[in-house]
Every structure is written in structure tokens, then in C-alpha cells.
């Protein structure tokens, strides 16, 4: 069952509240309170009734009930002054007064998935575009990685236009292999334009076709074919980018179009290894990360000055560390730091290299301040790079700025509203709320992340700690058993070796919650 009011959807079966395609993190009791008010919107719900239903009749102070009502209002865009949706009835209780539409879950897919009938996202205040995966017309599925890589480079080139809002690769690629309605894509991603196309690679020749479509009307406003030798693949990408930009903003100066051009490497072999590495990196499994690291090393061998390859290699070491996959920790930490620092040296104007290197250095070298600086530069160079925003969020939360981190995670989710790796952003939201003392919100975000990646150690730790600190010891102990099964070596005393938490009070919150959940000292 789902209840929709305004642009919000309350999904009972999934226990989720969303606004458009954006999930809203609320604690379990806040969710139950909102649900009870919505279900009983035809009458005034007394305070005693709310306590019986939400808290099982336990003794609850007036301030606790009031704070939860305020949390409900904040989550749905209401306030105690306005009371547009939740009205206080003096000396009686509360009533939900908004217009509500009910639907069965089977009639309305989740708003966070492609193909949903959720309310459309509000268009940004600047031209906006999504680049869909191109069709591979080579007749060889083994060439998918190459086609996808070319499209990623086009997205990256467009992203460097500060005046343009570009949907991140991970959300665009949720449409891969599907017949799509561009109007629906526009609504789901909140963009005005959609670029689609195809690529054919045969021997040493390549042909790229592209069509720019107005997502509001479905009309094709530009189409073109680009053909040449494989050696000229970067030139073909630049031509397509220039044509798209020139169509969207014909008054744009040519100099700005030129600034968007970026040849990552002179070596096609290095480029090929890099694209293969990225295909593995997106999978995220232990085996895929090992293969990605091997391929990034091959790319570096082919072109030692390839900054993004160094950055991605450094980030592979971070992912191995945070998941407990390192076999020789001192050696791998040193290699990861070396790769990340080399990426910074070579890629001062490469947003991808700076993003991955900055985040890796924060974790592997405990350089949180340097990591924030590098990620800020990456966001300046490419304000549409979702990875720069959510990795910046993580570094900010470790450095002790949970509210700044939440702002970064929120922006990342808007740039990539259908991202298959949203679980990373949700995990960051969970940590930020935990350190801010909002334990219900922390557990809610962490549970969402856990559903997509049940082996994510950090998320399981947040679930255990937040439940314990909120007094839900049974749930905390269940999470702790899973955490210790995945990593028997983890202890309350070595958390600082695992996560680069700067503020003693933040470390105390996490360690204290995990101790309550049963983690040995």
C-alpha cells in the first residue's frame, strides 16, 4: 500500500518516505507516527493513542512526542507554524489534514526505480541533459565496455560545462538494454534534454551516431553521424560534444566549448585498459576490484602520465581497506598512497583523478584536510560529477562536519537519482546522522543501504550502533552477529585504524554504540 500527498509518497511495504525520486531518511518511530496519522486522517488522533501505537504503551515524555511530531513535519515539508499537513488540535491531539491518494503497491512502482509513475523531478534552473547508454552495433558484446567508455567520456565532457546540469553516468546507465520513452526518462531524471545514439566498431574504424531529443515533447532537435579511424576516437567524442553544446546553447562562446575537450591519454592501449578497469570497478565485488586494479596498473604501464588511471588505482586500495580485503596491509596502504599522490601530481585539472585520489588519501594517509581541498577543486572543475559530491560528503563527515556532509550527499543524489550505487550515499547519510545524534535517522538510512549491499561492513556497524544507542538492543545484537561473522577481527579499540574519524566525540559515539551492541573491546 502507498499513500501519496503533494509530491510525497509513503510506501508502507518498503517502509520508505520519498519526495519525487528522492528518499527521505526518517527513523522507524517517526515513520510509524506519520503512517498512523495518515491512516486515521478522518479523525483527531489523541496523544495516548499515538503512544499506544508507536511506543507500545511505554512511558513517553511530552517532549519526546513533540520532537517526533516535529520530525514528521520536517520530513514532509511542514512546520509547527504552518501546519499545512499535520495540525495540532488543542488539548485533543493531532490530525493529518492533507489530501491523500491511496494505491496498491503493485499499481505504482517505487519512485526510486526506472519506469515509475512518481511525480516528476523539478527541472534545474539551467539547461539539463541525460546521456543514455549507446547501442553497440559492432555485433560483439565483448565490445560493450568500449561503447560504455565512450559514452562516459561524452558525459564527462558535458559535465565540465558549469552552466549545464548533467545526470551522472550511474543513473543514465540504469536504462541500458531497455526500450525507453524519452519523455519518461526526462520525468524520472528531471532533465530537459536526452542524448541517445549508437556506436559501431569494426577493424580500425568507428562510427558514432547521436540524437538530441527534447524530453518534454519527444522531438529530435539534432542528429549527426561521426565516422573515422579508431585512432581518432577522442576527436569524434569532441565533435559530438561540441554539436550537442552548440545546439543547446548556440550563443555559447567557442572558447568554452574548447575548454570542455579533454584527451585523457595519448595511448589507445592505456585507454582500453582503463575502460576495462572501470567496467570492473562499477561491479564493486572483491574479485572485480582485484581485476580493476590489475587493469589500471596495465593502463599506467602503457601511459605512466595517465592521471585518472593512477587515481582509480588508489581508490581500489581504499575499497580493499574499508572492506577488510587487504592481504598485506602496510604494503597495500603504501602503494595506494603512492598511486593517489601521483594522480594529484599529474591531474591538477582532472576532476576524476582528483576525486578518487582525494578520497583515497583521506582514508589511506589520514589526510582529511588535503582530501577536502582536492574534492573541492574537483567539484569546481566538474560541478556535475556525482562521485565528487558523495565522496566529499564522506570526507566531511570523517572530519566532523555532518551537516555539510548531508548537503553533499543530497546534491549527489539529485545528480544521480537512479544510481545503482545509491547505497554508498545512503551509507554516508547514515554516518552523518549518527554523529549528529539522530539515531533513528541513522538506522533508517543504514537499513536502506544494507538492502542493496548486505556485505557493506561500515553499514552493518552503523546499524548495530544506531539501534543500540536508540535502545533497540535485539536489533543491534543481530547486526553485531553479522558484523563479526564478516570480520571477526574488528574491535572497539581499533575503529580508528578502520575509519579516519577525527573528532573524539564522533569516535566515542560509534564505539559506544558498538560496545552496547556487543562488540568486544
Q: Count CB-CB contacts under 10 A for residue 419.
A: 24
* CB burial of residue 60 (10 Å; 0-12, 13-18, 19+): middle
Asked if residues 361 and 367 have their Cβ atoms less than 8 Å apart, the reply is: yes
Q: What is the 3-state secondary structure (H, E, C) of 339-394?
A: HHHHHHHHCCCCHHHHHHHHHHHHHHCCCHHHHHHHHHHHHHHCCCCHHHHHHHHH
Cα–Cα distance measured from residue 407 to residue 503, given in angstroms and rounded to the nearest whole number: 20
Name the range with the highest mean pLDDT among 275-284, 289-298, 416-425.
289-298
Regarding the domain with residue range 419-521, which homologous superfamily does it belong to in the CATH classification?
A: Tetratricopeptide repeat domain (1.25.40.10)
Cα–Cα distance measured from residue 259 to residue 439, given in angstroms and rounded to the nearest whole number: 45
pLDDT for 120: 57
Cα–Cα distance measured from residue 128 to residue 115, given in angstroms and rounded to the nearest whole number: 20
| Cα dist from 389 to 128, 194, 334, 404, whole Å | 18, 23, 26, 11
Closest CA to 365 of 397, 393, 332: 332
pLDDT in tens, 287-314: 889 999 999 999 999 999 999 999 999 9
Asked if residues 392 and 426 have their Cβ atoms less than 8 Å apart, the reply is: no
Question: Residue written as cell 518511530?
Answer: 29
Instruction: Order the strands of the 93-96 sheet from edge to edge.
Output: 45-46, 93-96, 86-89
| Farthest CA pair distance, the chain | 80
pLDDT at 116 over 50: no
pLDDT band at 110 (very low <50, low <70, confident <90, very high): very low
pLDDT for 249: 58
pLDDT for 262: 61
pLDDT at 42 over 70: yes
pLDDT for 114: 47
Closest CA to 130 of 171, 184, 163: 171
Cα–Cα distance measured from residue 473 to residue 454, given in angstroms and rounded to the nearest whole number: 20
Over residues 143-163, the mean pLDDT reads 80
pLDDT for 498: 86
CATH fold for domain 128-259? Rossmann fold (3.40.50)
pLDDT at 337 over 70: yes
Q: DSSP states of 85-147 as a string?
A: SEEEETTTEEEE-S--EEE-GGGS--TTSTT--PPPPPPPSS-EEEEPPPEE-SS-GGGHHHH
Taking the CA atoms of the chain, what radius of gyration do you get in angstroms?
24
pLDDT for 104: 62
pLDDT at 207 over 80: yes
Q: Is the dihedral of CA 258, 261, 263, 264 positive or negative?
A: positive
CB-based contacts of 217-223 (< 8 A; 24+ apart in sequence): 217/183, 218/181, 218/182, 218/183, 221/193, 221/247, 222/247
pLDDT in tens, 190-204: 888 888 888 888 778
Asked if residues 71 and 30 have their Cβ atoms less than 8 Å apart, the reply is: yes
Ordered by start, the domain boundaries in the chain are 2-107, 128-259, 264-383, 419-521
Name the range with the highest mean pLDDT among 86-95, 132-141, 154-163, 330-339.
330-339
pLDDT for 345: 94
pLDDT band at 21 (very low <50, low <70, confident <90, very high): low
Over residues 493-514, the mean pLDDT reads 91
Cα–Cα distance measured from residue 281 to residue 5, given in angstroms and rounded to the nearest whole number: 39
pLDDT at 395 over 80: yes
CATH fold for domain 2-107? Arc Repressor Mutant, subunit A (1.10.10)
Asked if residues 332 and 350 have their Cβ atoms less than 8 Å apart, the reply is: no
Domain 264-383 sits in CATH at 1.25.40.10
pTM: 0.64
Return the bridge partners of 200, or none. 207
On the question of a common fold for 2-107 and 419-521, the answer reads no
Contact partners, residue 89, CB within 8 Å, separation at least 6: 44, 95
Over residues 27-56, the mean pLDDT reads 85
pLDDT at 275 over 60: yes
Amino acid at each position: 500500500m502507498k499513500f501519496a500527498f503533494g509530491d510525497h509518497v509513503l510506501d508502507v511495504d518498503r517502509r520508505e518516505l520519498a519526495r519525487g525520486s528522492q528518499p527521505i531518511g526518517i527513523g522507524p518511530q517517526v515513520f510509524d507516527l506519520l503512517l498512523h496519522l495518515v491512516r486515521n486522517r478522518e479523525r483527531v488522533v489523541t496523544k495516548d493513542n499515538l503512544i499506544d501505537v508507536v511506543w507500545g504503551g511505554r512511558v513517553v515524555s511530552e517532549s519526546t512526542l513533540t520532537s517526533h511530531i516535529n520530525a514528521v513535519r520536517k520530513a514532509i515539508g511542514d512546520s509547527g507554524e504552518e501546519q499545512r499537513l499535520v495540525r495540532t488540535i488543542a488539548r485533543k491531539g493531532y490530525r493529518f489534514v492533507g489530501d491523500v491518494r491511496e494505491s496498491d503497491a503493485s499499481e505504482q512502482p517505487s519512485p526510486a526505480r526506472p519506469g515509475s509513475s512518481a511525480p516528476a523531478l523539478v527541472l534545474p534552473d539551467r539547461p539539463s541533459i541525460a546521456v543514455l547508454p549507446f547501442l553497440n552495433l559492432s555485433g560483439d558484446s565483448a565490445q560493450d565496455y568500449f561503447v560504455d567508455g565512450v559514452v562516459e567520456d561524452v558525459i564527462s565532457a558535458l559535465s565540465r560545462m558549469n552552466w549545464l546540469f548533467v545526470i551522472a553516468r550511474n543513473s543514465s546507465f540504469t536504462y541500458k538494454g531497455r526500450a525507453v520513452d524519452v519523455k519518461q526518462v526526462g520525468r524520472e531524471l528531471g532533465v530537459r534534454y536526452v542524448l541517445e545514439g549508437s556506436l559501431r566498431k569494426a577493424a580500425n574504424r568507428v562510427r558514432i551516431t547521436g540524437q538530441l531529443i527534447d524530453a518534454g515533447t519527444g522531438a529530435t532537435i539534432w542528429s549527426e553521424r561521426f565516422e573515422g579511424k579508431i585512432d581518432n576516437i577522442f576527436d569524434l567524442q569532441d565533435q559530438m560534444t561540441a554539436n550537442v553544446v552548440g545546439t543547446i546553447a548556440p550563443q555559447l562562446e567557442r572558447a568554452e566549448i574548447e575548454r570542455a575537450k579533454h584527451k585523457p591519454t595519448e595511448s589507445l592501449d592505456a585507454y582500453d585498459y582503463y575502460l576495462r578497469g572501470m567496467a570492473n570497478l562499477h561491479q564493486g565485488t572483491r574479485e572485480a576490484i582485484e581485476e580493476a586494479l590489475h587493469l589500471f596498473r596495465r593502463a599506467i604501464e602503457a601511459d605512466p602520465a595517465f592521471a585518472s588511471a593512477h587515481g582509480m588505482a588508489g581508490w581500489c586500495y581504499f575499497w580493499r581497506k574499508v572492506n577488510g580485503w587487504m592481504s598485506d596491509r602496510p604494503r597495500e596502504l603504501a602503494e595506494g598512497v603512492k598511486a593517489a599522490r601521483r594522480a594529484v601530481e599529474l591531474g591538477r585539472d582532472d576532476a576524476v583523478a582528483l576525486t578518487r585520489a582525494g578520497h583515497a588519501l583521506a582514508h589511506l594517509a589520514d589526510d582529511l584536510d588535503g582530501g577536502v581541498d582536492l574534492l573541492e577543486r574537483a567539484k569546481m572543475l566538474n560541478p556535475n560529477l556525482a562521485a565528487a559530491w558523495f565522496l566529499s560528503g564522506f570526507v566531511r563527515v570523517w572530519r566532523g562536519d555532518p551537516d555539510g556532509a548531508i548537503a553533499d550527499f543530497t546534491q549527489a543524489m539529485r545528480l544521480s537519482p537512479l544510481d545503482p550505487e545509491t547505497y554508498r550515499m545512503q551509507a554516508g547519510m547514515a554516518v552523518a546522522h549518527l554523529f549528529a545524534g539522530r539515531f533513528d535517522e541513522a538506522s533508517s538510512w543504514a537499513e536502506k543501504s544494507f538492502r542493496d549491499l548486505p556485505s557493506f561492513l561500515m553499514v552493518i556497524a552503523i546499524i548495530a550502533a544506531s539501534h543500540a544507542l536508540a535502545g533497540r538492543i535485539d536489533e543491534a545484537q543481530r547486526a553485531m552477529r553479522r558484523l563479526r561473522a564478516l570480520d571477526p577481527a574488528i574491535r572497539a579499540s581499533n575503529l580508528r585504524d578502520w575509519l579516519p574519524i577525527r573528532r573524539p566525540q564522533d569516535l566515542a559515539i560509534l564505539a559506544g554504540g558498538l560496545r552496547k551492541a556487543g562488540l568486544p573491546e
